[in-house]
A and B are shown apart, each in its own frame.
Chain A
Amino acid sequence: MKICYYPGCTLKTKAKELDAYARKAAEALGVEMEEVKDWQCCGAVYPMAKNEIATKLSAVRALDYAKHNGGKLLTLCSACHNVIKRVNDDMKNDENIRTKANNYLALEESYNGETQVIHYLEMLKNEVSFDEIAKKVVKPLNRKVGAYYGCLLLRPSGVLAFDNPENPSIIEDFIRAIGGTPVIYPFRNECCGAYVSLKNQTLPKERSAKILNSAKEKGAEEVITACPLCLYNLQVNGAGILPARYFTELLAEALGVK
């Protein structure tokens, strides 16, 4: 299976491991990730103001490319996923944004939200299936892992439609598939403090400590995430309460391709 892939800036720089392990694992699972040609930074946060148009165009360009190259766009970074999926929803359902973005881009054929945006975890679950993954595991994890969802994969759930926003289960199912024991803890869908850590570190420090302590109390030995900013906040602002790693690293480890 071949699928269009949007890596985003951070996966080319500070979060190279998130990307590299994902590619190795995908190869082992028979999925070919083909990078979108000339992709541009998605902007990292979805611009919510209704008169923001220019800040959404890079996402529309990637979406339009995928539309003509298989119809699906694979994302991996939680932030890219959140931005691209929400912009896609605008292109489908917000006439004002759709018209203006199309006028600006002047594509040969207008883009109206046709592409299906799927996160790597959704690809594992729906295109490969966790049962198939379990069969390919050569080094089961055999440890207790806390799934850290954060915000970007889950909310707003009406648009993201990723999982139950209050009680998600996809990452726990993933952990089970690779031979680990998922640990359910109360703060797994709480915000780590996000971009506020560049302006005021106190808040993200408190948030990250709460999240990691919550996971530790329930017996987790480590937490996993799909977001470079969550990883940063948990590692740097979480003061080493628990190790935090990318979920793709554990996948590659279990598949024996790390």
Chain B
Amino acid sequence: MDKTEMTEIMKEISGTDVRKCMKCGKCSGRCPAYKDMDIKPHQFVTMLEKGKVEELLNCSAIWNCFSCMACVERCPRGVAPAQVIEAVRTTFTRAQNNNGLAAEDIPPIVDELIPQQLLVSAYRKYNK
């Protein structure tokens, strides 16, 4: 798949209009994971708009976003950075061998208190 096609698909599945962003940075200012994101929420929006899919698909921020929707709540232009991040993560994990969680890594960290909700949500977010 070429880059342009890939960009269009990611824009479409994000369900948000990246052209509306006015680059104010409010989304990033509100993000609780900000310091642990190599690409910041507002940069996801601009980079997708510019078609920088390779850089997006190689970032580690997709693993650290909580999907807390705080960025979406704050955006004055009705853009949803969290949905751009989800579009990137989904595009990445859907490809062969790109799961973010390996099944064998789970048992050692499972303690008796871990709720099913955590296992199910992490699998849904990180794996295809």
Contacts and interface: CB of A to CB of B under 8 A. Distances in A.
Interface in A191-226: 191, 193-201, 203, 207
Contacts of A228: 115, 117
Interface residues of B, number: 40
Interface of B: 12-15, 32-33, 36, 63-64, 66-70, 72-73, 80, 82-83, 86-87, 90, 100-101, 106, 109, 111, 113-122, 124-126
Counting chain A residues whose Cβ lies within 8 A of the other chain, the interface size class is 35 or more
24 contacts: A13-B116, A14-B113, A44-B116, A49-B86, A49-B90, A51-B12, A52-B90, A155-B72, A165-B73, A190-B32, A190-B70, A191-B32, A194-B67, A194-B68, A195-B66, A195-B67, A198-B106, A198-B126, A199-B63, A201-B109, A203-B66, A232-B113, A236-B111, A236-B113
A51 B117 contact: no
B35 to A, nearest CB: 9
B9 to A, nearest CB: 9
User: Chain A interface mostly helix, strand, loop or mixed?
Assistant: loop
B66 A191 contact: yes
B120 A43 contact: yes
B63 A151 contact: no
Interface of A: 8-10, 13-15, 41, 43-45, 47-52, 55, 77, 79, 151, 155-157, 165-166, 190-191, 193-201, 203, 207, 227-229, 231-232, 235-236
